[in-house]
Structure 1
Amino acid sequence: MATDSKAQLLVEALTTHRDEFLAQWSRTIGDALQGRLSAAEMRRELTELYEAILGALSRGGLESRGDHFAETRSLLIELSRNRARQGFSPTETAMSVLALKEVLEPRLTGDPEGARVYLQFARILDDLSLLTTEAYVRTREEIISSQAEQLLELSTPVVKLWDGIVGVPLVGTLDSARTQVVMEKLLQTLVDSDSTHAIIDITGVPTVDTQVAQHLLKTVVAARMMGAQCTVSGIRPQIAQTIVALGIEFGDIPTNASLSDALRQAVKEVAQDAEDDVRGLL
């Protein structure tokens, strides 16, 4: 039997038993998903996918690499992305395709020719299920990356402490990526609030090593380039001992034991700056 006649045999089976196959396919997937997806939504997705597969087989036969399966692949990518966002597992997502093999097997394997058609079509479904897994993984990576960025934003707040004074309370480890976020948010806040003083509080930073110190210095230098005076607060006794032991030099950067001490000093400097400006106008 020629390849196109094999495809025709499959097309006829899919067309003749369309409603039966769709109903059984929906039941199989519905049991696997345990009601976590509405029956109407699942039926709509599977119907679109079924029609796309049937159309691809009618146009291009059992050659899975052709453009005639483009619509099918597009629908599966979208389905996989939705499943990833909805919290389904990769296996549950792939089952949306693989379950069709279970539906078709009893109808197509009753004779040798039908069995050969089934095996050839099963390979196509295997390829399509791999596509769903790839799309699912890419989407999950995008979600995780987006969530990591959001957490990074939330973990590096820049707050206005006083007129002309902003604070950056750091909690946790300070690495290169986080330093970049701190720099960007601090510089933007300095511009938006027209502040002249910045306090970087490291009370919540568990340890300070050479790398962390370098990140702090970069942030201070960036703020100073914007014309802001910077103070590092939260220098606890153990942190101070570590800094001395490592030979870390903060140079002329003011440091304080607590945020309140740093704020008190910054308020005095802001008041003095305001007084000097008034004198300059007289």
Structure 2
Amino acid sequence: MTTRIHEILKKYPSELLTEWLAAMATSGVRRDALMKEAELREQCAEFLRLLTQATEHGNVTDTSSTGYHGVREMLDRLSRARSLQGFSPSETATFIFSFKQPVFERLRRELASQPELVTDELWNITVLLDKLGLYTTEVHQRTREEVIVRQQQEMLELSTPVVQLWDRIVCLPLIGTLDSGRTQTVMESLLQRIVETGAEIAIIDITGVPTVDTLTAQHLIKTVTATRLMGAECVISGIRPQIAQTIVHLGVDLAGVVTKSSVAGAFNWALRRLSQTVAQPSSRGAAGKA
């Protein structure tokens, strides 16, 4: 039974390709705005060639076998590309499912004198194409998930900018929830910036952090510890009354950690720590200009 399918694929490649493209055109699944006809034809021709090779030996429905390596590799590339181009999972899978119509017709014609084989052959090709269609959906979904994770990571990096406020003073404003993944990114960004600027004091501002629980406090302590290991002092600013009460209620030990209610307070502390001052504009100079 497996050789009949292979023989048909090998005997009618051009006819199957033409009928396949026509089936996709009439079904309305083509997206000419996203893919040109020449590119689609090339993909269909490559799939037919690889499928013909794969069905030559062994169980035609065993798509996990080494014989189907080329087919899987091609569908992997196709599904990833279509996912990035904007095709939906169903549109990507229909690339395979739409091949059923032309190959079914060919099987019926070739086996017209052997009706007892038609059902078995149709079942084999149905199982085969269904497996390959589902495989494209799985790859498409994985690609989307990878894109989402990458975008989340990029947004995370953008949401944790380390700003140099003054000579040897940097500030890391935090906004939103501080979880384990973000803590790692925060520490890496802060430590890298300390190395680049030679900072001696790092201000971590949590004004934009809505709530502080035990886990969040532990993440802050880890960041403070890592900063100290780099030879820099760490100040936590943005300690609001409700956050202070929460920290006390949770029994979180922030002993030895400098805390301030605002960035301005932390900045003033940092200047004094470094024996630096910010001079006010001279009133005499202002009067002379007047």
Same fold (TM over 0.5): yes
Q: Which residue number corresponds to residue 94 of structure 2? A: 95
Pick closer, same or farther for the CA change 1:67–1:226 going to 2, 3 Å: closer
Instruction: Specify the code of the residue in structure 2 equivalent to 1:41.
Output: E
The 8 Å contact of residues 81 and 139 in structure 1, kept in 2 or not, is answered as yes
Q: Which residue number corresponds to residue 18 of structure 2? A: 20
Q: What's the C-alpha RMSD, in Å, of the aligned pairs?
A: 2.4
Q: Which runs of 5+ in 2 are unaligned?
A: 278-290
Write the distance in 2 (CA, Å) between the matches of 1:54 and 1:25.
20
Report whether the alignment pairs 1:70 with 2:74.
no
Identity of aligned residues (%): 43
**What is the CA-CA distance between 1:245 and the residue it aligns to?**
2.9
Write the distance in 2 (CA, Å) between the matches of 1:28 and 1:153.
46
The 8 Å contact of residues 170 and 194 in structure 2, kept in 1 or not, is answered as yes
Pick closer, same or farther for the CA change 1:53–1:40 going to 2, 3 Å: same
Mapping for residues 27-42 of structure 1, pairs under 5 Å: 27-28=25-26, 31-35=28-32, 36-42=34-40
- Helix, strand or coil at the partner of 1:235: coil
Pick closer, same or farther for the CA change 1:9–1:189 going to 2, 3 Å: closer
Mapping for residues 1-282 of structure 1, pairs under 5 Å: 3-5=2-4, 7-12=6-11, 14-15=12-13, 17-28=15-26, 31-35=28-32, 36-57=34-55, 59-60=56-57, 63-65=60-62, 66-110=65-109, 111=112, 112=115, 113-114=117-118, 116-272=120-276
The 8 Å contact of residues 157 and 169 in structure 1, kept in 2 or not, is answered as yes
Write the distance in 1 (CA, Å) between the matches of 2:47 and 2:233.
62
Write the distance in 1 (CA, Å) between the matches of 2:71 and 2:81.
15
Q: Which residue number corresponds to residue 279 of structure 1? A: none
Write the distance in 2 (CA, Å) between the matches of 1:154 and 1:161.
18
Pick closer, same or farther for the CA change 1:140–1:153 going to 2, 3 Å: same
- Helix, strand or coil at the partner of 2:203: strand
The 8 Å contact of residues 8 and 106 in structure 2, kept in 1 or not, is answered as no
Task: Please state which structure has a larger fraction of its residues in helix.
Answer: 1
Write the distance in 1 (CA, Å) between the matches of 2:263 and 2:252.
21
Q: Which runs of 5+ in 1 are unaligned?
A: 274-282
CA offset digits 1:42-68 (Å, max 9, x no partner):
2221221122223334x3376243533
CA offset digits 1:108-146 (Å, max 9, x no partner):
335324554333222211121122122222222222222
Q: Which residue number corresponds to residue 285 of structure 2? A: none
**TM-score, with normalisation over the residues of structure 2?**
0.83
CA offset digits 1:184-218 (Å, max 9, x no partner):
21111111110100000000000112221111111
Instruction: Specify the code of the residue in structure 1 equivalent to 2:49.
Output: E
Write the distance in 1 (CA, Å) between the matches of 2:239 and 2:84.
43
Instruction: Specify the code of the residue in structure 2 equivalent to 1:147.
Output: Q
Write the distance in 1 (CA, Å) between the matches of 2:193 and 2:252.
28
Write the distance in 1 (CA, Å) between the matches of 2:211 and 2:4.
72
CA offset digits 1:67-120 (Å, max 9, x no partner):
333222211111111122223222111111011002333343353245543332
Write the distance in 1 (CA, Å) between the matches of 2:243 and 2:210.
9
Pick closer, same or farther for the CA change 1:255–1:146 going to 2, 3 Å: same
